Amino acid sequence: MKKIEAKFYVKSKTFFGKCIRFQQKWITKLPKRYSDVSHMELWFPYKYIPKGTECTGGDNRMFRIGDDSACDRLAVEHGICWSSSEMDGGTRFKVIQINSENWKSIEIPMKPKQIKMVTEFCLRENGQGYAVISIAMAQVLNINFVRRGYWFCNHACMTGIFRGLTSDFAYDFIKRFTHMWNPGLSYKYLEENFKFKNK
C-alpha cells in the first residue's frame, strides 16, 4: 500500500487564516486542536507527479518536474504539495519545506490506482482560481456555495482525496459535505474516518 499525506497548517497569521480560525473557534465551536488549523495541502512523493508538470519552487520560481534545476532537486528531497492558495491565486503544485511544528500530517494509504486518480484530478484542476466568494459565504454566512473552476484549499484537497477513495465520484457529491468548507473539520474528519473510507 502506497500513501499520500494531508498536511494542515496551524496558527496562521494571515488575514484569511485568522478569519478561518475565528470561524472555527466561535461559530463551528471546534476544540482548539482543530480550530487552530487554517490551511490544507495534499503532499505527494516526487515520483507520483509526471515529468514536465509545472511547479512553483520555495522561492516562487517556476520550474518543471524533471528539469534537474535547484528547485527540482528540492522537490526530490521534500516532495510536492498541491492545494489552492490565496497567496498563489488558486490551485498549484508547490515545493514546501514542511519541517516546522506548525504543520500536522495525516497519512492516507492508497492503492497505486487510487493515487493515480488523485493526481489526475490535481493535474486537471491545476491553474484554477481561488474561491474568494465561496470562502466568504462559507466563513461569514455558513453557506456552501460551489463555483466551477474556483477552489478553496481543503475543498480542493478533500475533493481530490474522495476522487481516489470513491469509485462513484460526482461533482454534486461534494456539496453534501460541510467539512469541505472548514479546514479544521477536514482535519477532524480525516483523522477519524479516512481508514474506514479506504476499505
pLDDT tops 90 at residue 14: no
Q: Which CATH number fits domain 2-197: 3.90.1720, 1.10.260, 3.30.70, 3.30.190?
A: 3.90.1720
The domains of the chain are located at 2-197
* Residue 196 pLDDT level (bands cut at 50, 70, 90): very low
Q: What is the 3-state secondary structure (H, E, C) of the chain?
A: CEEEEEEEEECCCCHHHHHHHHHHHHCCCCCHHHHCEEEEEEEECHHHCCCCCEEECCCCCEEECCCCCHHHHHHHHHCEEEEEECCCCEEEEECCCCCCCCEEEEEEEECHHHHHHHHHHHHHHCCCEECHHHHHHHHHHCCCCCCCCEECHHHHHHHHHHHHHCCCCCHHHHHHCHHHHCHHHHHHHHHHHHHHHCC
Share of the chain above pLDDT 70, in %: 85
